[in-house]
Amino acid sequence: SKMTVKAVKMPCTSANVYTKVPDGGWGWTVAFAFFVVEALTYGIIKSFGVFFNDLMESFDETNSRISWIISICVFVQTFTAPLSTVLSNRFGHRLVVMAGGLLVSTGMVIASFARSVVDMYVTIGVISGLGYCLSFLPTVTILSQYFDKRRSLVTAVASTGECFAVFSFAPAITALKEQIGWRYSMLSVGVLQLGITACGSLLRPIVVREQEEVKAQPPEESTETKYMLENEQTCTSIESIDSGVDITTSPSNVPGKTKAEPKSEEPKQHGQNPVDNNSTPPEPKTKLLDFSVMRDYSFICYAFFGLFATLGFFAPSLYIIPLSRSLGISKDHSAYILSAMAIAEVFGRVFAGWVLNKKPIRKIYIELICVILLSVALVAFPFASGFWGLMICSVYFGFMLGTVAGTHIPLLAEDDVVGIEKMSSAAGVYVFIQSLAGLAGPPLAGVLVDTTKNYSSAFYSCAAGMVLGAVFLALVRPCKTGLCHQQQQQQQPVEVEEGTAGPPPELPDDFIDMDIGKAENSGKGSDSV
């Protein structure tokens, strides 16, 4: 009777077993962990622009070659997403995130001693990039499992960690560089990122088993007695005395243990049988990565949306400071512009989560509107002039970026895309497809800047990718509805055949069931008894 929400109370090192999605509980701790992980992963990536000018001066490299550092990092992070999914399904989210935190910190610390840009490619690009993947994706996946009705709002609010990180890290790192230099500043960031391992230890696994309905079956025994009056000692019914057949239709009667009925009822009182007898549901999770989502046209369209939209996610935050410096804005004021963008992104994420939490709203359409408005924000940057012009564009871009960046991965759990059951595998494949844009985006923008000698070209390339993403996002819902109609048409004839041929094969499974069925059909069933 006490198992209305939590089925089994497990220790901290074991899984939380629920009879339904808790929409809270330990999920709030997981949400806090996701907030910190966001701050120490994407928050650091978006704040890396404060090191750009220092790296170009120290290594005497061009803008495009320095851009490859973040490009390789984002590529490795997204390309290894299926590996993150496989490892999480095999070893659990906790161990994978803790291992990812160690890799992130190790790569950033070693990068502070780099002597060339190639060293940065290996340390931050490969080592930290792999760590970012192992840290972020399992955290957002397990957070989605802890929430159902509040999923959009909680995920959006928790994802604001990167926004607060950019708001605080950009000015802090800038000030720290003035005191101890960029190398020791980068070393300090690497040590700070060890906090990811602590957050990983809070990711307690969750298992949702809808087994409460099994406990509601004992009343059915009272209806069964309408047909069969069991003798407590012999476990036989009136109808079976003539034939001498032991009754096995009762759930408490097990072949070979006909006199053990009182013992079998004791576990039911404690509510342990539904959980112990059905310990097999985790077995289907042996499929570590489900590529069947690639046969879903709606997911394919959504994956192409993520592919092209990624072009507009990272480049603006990387080039906003160089753009402001090219317009004659001081370093301090440039950092303020990046911080204002981060604060606006906080409000955008919370606003998107609040709107998407409204039930009557089709979430995929809200996402489409936000992507279109985000494309407009990217086009507006080249027309900005002066500090306040860039500030207005940055605030507008940050708000719209928050509405998209904080929701595009959690939307995979919606029925319009793949649903919560396939979210883990879908997230791995989805982020893997994004890797191509993550690899090509920043370097492409860097080549355009080096060719045109104008930072506006970088924002135009981002806007073009976002527009293409909006086109594919608009096709997600039509593809989903089209597939549903086709499946319904294919299942209708099958249901008709099952309706005529289905019941008879089930009757011979038990002699008593067959007798009862005959009694009901002849009209002499329960009334005569």
Burial class (CB in 10 A: 0-12, 13-18, 19+), 183: middle
Closest CA to 338 of 395, 281, 287, 296: 395
Question: What pLDDT score does 124 carry?
Answer: 93
pLDDT in tens, 370-418: 899 999 988 888 888 888 888 998 899 989 988 887 777 777 777 677 7
Domain covering 290-490: architecture: Up-down Bundle (1.20)
- Supply the pLDDT for residue 410: 73
The per-residue pLDDT for range 6-55, each reduced to its tens digit, is 444 444 456 667 777 777 788 899 999 999 998 999 888 888 878 888 89
Q: How open is the CA angle 351-355-361, to the nearest 5 degrees?
A: 160
Closest CA to 344 of 386, 387, 412, 406: 406
Question: What is the mean predicted confidence (pLDDT) over 347-351?
Answer: 86
Asked whether residue 135 carries a pLDDT value surpassing 80, the answer given is yes
Residues linked to residue 207 through DSSP beta bridges, in sequence order: 17
Kindly report the number of other CB atoms within 10 A of residue 479's CB atom.
Answer: 18
Give helix 456-474 / helix 423-452 axis angle, nearest 10°.
150
pLDDT of residue 510: 47
User: What average pLDDT does range 467-484 have in this prediction?
Assistant: 82
pLDDT at res. 457: 83
Residue 109 confidence class, pLDDT cut points 50, 70, 90: very high
Q: What is the pLDDT of residues 257-268, one digit of tens each?
A: 444 444 444 443
Rounded Cα gap, residues 505 and 501, in angstroms: 8
pLDDT of residue 354: 82
Average pLDDT over residues 121-141: 90
pLDDT interval class at 119 (50, 70, 90): very high
pLDDT at 236: 43
Rounded average pLDDT over 177-204: 91
At 492 the pLDDT is 54
What was the pLDDT predicted at 491?
53
What integer is the mean pLDDT of 74-79? 82
Mean pLDDT is lowest, of 86-95, 211-220, 269-278, for 269-278
Share of the chain above pLDDT 70, in %: 70
Helix (H) or strand (E) run with residue 119 in it: helix 117-120
Write down the domain spans for the chain: 12-210, 290-490
Please tell me the predicted confidence (pLDDT) of residue 493: 53
pLDDT digits (tens, 9 = 90+) for 297-327: 888 888 888 888 887 776 677 778 778 888 8
- pLDDT category at 71 given cuts 50, 70, 90 is confident
Q: What is the pLDDT of residue 60?
A: 85
Which residues, 6 or more positions from 112, have their beta carbon under 8 angstroms from its beta carbon? 183, 184, 186, 187, 190
> Which CATH number describes the domain made up of 12-210?
1.20.1250.20
CA 523 vs. chain centroid, Å, equals 55
Q: Which residue has the higher pLDDT, 445 or 193?
A: 193
Residue-level pLDDT at 289: 64
Region 71-96: mean pLDDT is: 85
pLDDT digit string (tens) for 355-374? 877 766 677 888 889 899 99
State residue 198's pLDDT score: 92
Stretch 422-447: mean pLDDT:
75
Fold match, 12-210 / 290-490: yes
The predicted model scores a pTM of: 0.61
The mean of the pLDDT values for the chain is 74
* Residue 186 pLDDT level (bands cut at 50, 70, 90): very high
